[in-house]
Structure 1
């Protein structure tokens, strides 16, 4: 079987680090090959070039222009790439904020994802408190975070925590101070949740 596992959450929560930490153990636990698709790696350069061609700040990944015209095509491209890998028998870990998709409960919607019934699905919402996330963003000093930091009050209003029905079948993992047992438990939850 193949699996599609999402690691999503706001900037600075540690979703990419968590995905990289678990990809090897997940492959060993399931006996399946996995690839990692990180939205920023896939589309960071293209997004920057597009913004620059439009006369915008190429690092401004949180501007209204980016959110209205580039965000959704980037996610659709990531999903297209995921489906190609799944069709080849390669399971996928997909990493991106995906907050709108979590809000709308799309990450486990097979029709919206365009995946077959035999693809196992799991979605991990990676969280940490706002102050910790901001400290991590400042510490990593990535140029793409400049707009967020310069417009933090505006950015922070888009941060949300899933509630109610949004939590249905969503695995929530807090990266504030996890220990080895927490990572092991998360791995087991992903394996169980993604068993189609």
Structure 2
């Protein structure tokens, strides 16, 4: 069975670092090839050029203009690229915030994603405390984060914590200070027998 693993969460939670740590162990555990698809790597340069041509600011990636006209096409390209790899039998780890899709449970919908029905989908929600995330964002000095830091009160309103129905089937991972056992537990839950999307899973150790 081919695996599609979404690594989701807000900025500063360490999504890409987690994905890079998981990809080798996932290949060994499943015996399958995997590719890593990070939305910012796939579309960052292009979107910066496009938004820069429109606004004069290539780092304008959290403004209403960007969110209205660029966000969804970037994600659709991510899903389509994942689907091409999955049809070739290559597992995918896809990285992006994807908070809206998590909230609306679209990431469990094979048809909406455009991926084969026999693909095993895991959705990992990566979290940290808000202040920890803000400190990480400031420390990394990425110009794409300038809007977030300058409009933090506005941005923080988009930082939702999955609750209720949104949690069904979600693998929650606290990435504030995880131990090796936490990574091993997450890996085990990704490769285990698939759970129905509506089933509540027990919390991961923190």
Into which bin does the TM-score normalised by the smaller protein fall?
over 0.9
| Residue 190 (structure 1) aligns with | 190
Contact 1:4-1:194 at 8 Å conserved across structures: no
Report deviation, 1:139: 0.8
| Residue 64 (structure 1) aligns with | 64
Q: How many residues align?
A: 196
**Structure 1 CA distance for aligned equivalents of residues 186 and 60 of structure 2:** 33
Contact 2:86-2:116 at 8 Å conserved across structures: no
1:118 aligns with 2:118: yes
Q: Equivalent residue of 2:125, what SS?
A: strand
| Residue 133 (structure 1) aligns with | 133
Q: CA RMSD in A?
A: 1.3
Report deviation, 1:151: 0.7
Q: Equivalent residue of 1:54, what SS?
A: helix
Q: Equivalent residue of 1:107, what SS?
A: helix
Contact 1:4-1:93 at 8 Å conserved across structures: yes
| Residue 73 (structure 2) aligns with | 73
Contact 2:7-2:95 at 8 Å conserved across structures: yes
- Structure 1 ranges of 4+ moved more than 2 A: 193-196
Cα-to-partner distance string for 1:18-49 (whole Å, 9 max, x where unaligned): 00000000110000000000000000001101
Unaligned residue ranges in structure 1 (runs of 5+): none
| Residue 25 (structure 2) aligns with | 25
| Residue 174 (structure 1) aligns with | 174
Contact 1:3-1:120 at 8 Å conserved across structures: yes
Cα-to-partner distance string for 1:143-192 (whole Å, 9 max, x where unaligned): 11111101111100111000000000000000011101011001001111
| Residue 50 (structure 1) aligns with | 50
**Structure 2 CA distance for aligned equivalents of residues 83 and 194 of structure 1:** 19
Specify which structure has the bigger relative contact order, considering alpha-carbon pairs within 8 angstroms and separated by 6 or more residues: 1
TM-score by length of 2: 0.92
Report deviation, 1:193: 5.5
Contact 1:59-1:143 at 8 Å conserved across structures: yes
TM-score by length of 1: 0.97
Q: 1:143 to 1:171 in 2, by over 3 A?
A: same
**Structure 2 CA distance for aligned equivalents of residues 104 and 145 of structure 1:** 25
**Structure 1 CA distance for aligned equivalents of residues 187 and 143 of structure 2:** 32
Cα-to-partner distance string for 1:118-156 (whole Å, 9 max, x where unaligned): 111100000001000001001111111111101111100
